């Protein structure tokens, strides 16, 4: 997955401007030298904030930062900026690494991070994206927990409907177990009765049919 992100970064961020200028959206385009200096400055700032032990350059254009997300401890954000990209004029690709979160939540968070990164085009986006995630993740997780709870309640309602389908309530597992043990006791009682009856018959005196 990391390799896919890296390849996408190279494809989507190739090219570069030869001089600083503003595009039609008002985003300042930096020269190649300015972009290099900005990236170096950003790395220094990130290391001073999160600690050099939590900021790693895994490859050219690939930065991994360990961040504190409260309920999702031990999280890593991967930022991909190809060496030929225009970052920070172009937004980076972002991957969230957190095994304790479900894939649906991680994809939702990465989608929101991508939108946030777009609003920071022309600026050093890594710290801004991390700050946004730290502020937003609590609400996002709460919404997903609420959604999962609603889904669980829906499933319980469906199971209850299945038990009462057609007006003939289907027995629960506990009720089926109770019926089973009642039938078992009844069967054992009948066997004991048959055994006692046979023993009584064996005690009765027998008469020789030939003697008279």
Spacing of C-alpha 34 from chain mean position: 39
Burial of 92 (0-12, 13-18, 19+ CB in 10 A): buried
Q: What is the pLDDT of residue 69?
A: 83
Predicted pLDDT at 76 = 94
Rg (CA), the chain: 36
pLDDT digits (tens, 9 = 90+) for 59-81: 888 999 999 887 667 899 999 98
The CA distance from 132 to 117, in Å, is 10
pLDDT of the residue at 22: 47
Report pLDDT for 52: 94
Please give the mean pLDDT across all residues of the chain.
78
Residues paired with residue 5 on neighbouring β-strands, in sequence order: none
Q: For residue 177, what are the β-bridge partners?
A: none
What's the pTM value of the predicted model, to 2 decimals?
0.58
pLDDT at 8 over 80: no
Tell me the pLDDT tens digit for each residue of 134-174: 998 888 888 888 888 888 888 888 877 776 665 555 566 67
- pLDDT, residue 13, reads 44
Q: Match 């991508």 to its residue by tokens.
A: 114
Looking at per-residue pLDDT, the higher value among 185 and 21 belongs to 185
């Amino acid at each position: 997955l990391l390799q896919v992100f890296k390849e996408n970064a190279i494809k989507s961020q190739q090219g570069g401007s030869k001089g600083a200028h503003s595009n039609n959206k008002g985003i300042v385009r930096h020269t190649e030298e300015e972009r290099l200096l900005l990236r170096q400055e950003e790395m220094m700032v990130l290391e001073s904030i999160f600690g050099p032990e939590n900021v790693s350059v895994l490859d050219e254009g690939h930065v991994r930062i360990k961040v504190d997300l409260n309920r999702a401890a031990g999280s890593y954000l991967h930022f991909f900026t190809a060496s030929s990209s225009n970052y920070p004029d172009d937004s980076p690709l972002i991957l969230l690494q957190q095994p304790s979160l479900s894939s649906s939540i991680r994809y939702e968070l990465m989608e929101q991070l991508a939108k946030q990164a777009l609003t920071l085009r022309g600026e050093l986006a890594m710290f801004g994206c991390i700050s946004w995630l730290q502020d937003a993740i609590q609400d996002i997780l709460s919404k997903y927990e609420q959604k999962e709870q609603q889904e669980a309640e829906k499933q319980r309602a469906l199971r209850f409907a299945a038990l009462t389908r057609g007006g003939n309530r289907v027995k629960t597992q506990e009720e089926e177990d109770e019926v089973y043990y009642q039938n078992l006791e009844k069967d054992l009682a009948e066997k004991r009765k048959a055994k006692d009856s046979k023993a009584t018959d064996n005690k009765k005196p027998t008469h020789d049919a030939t003697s008279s």
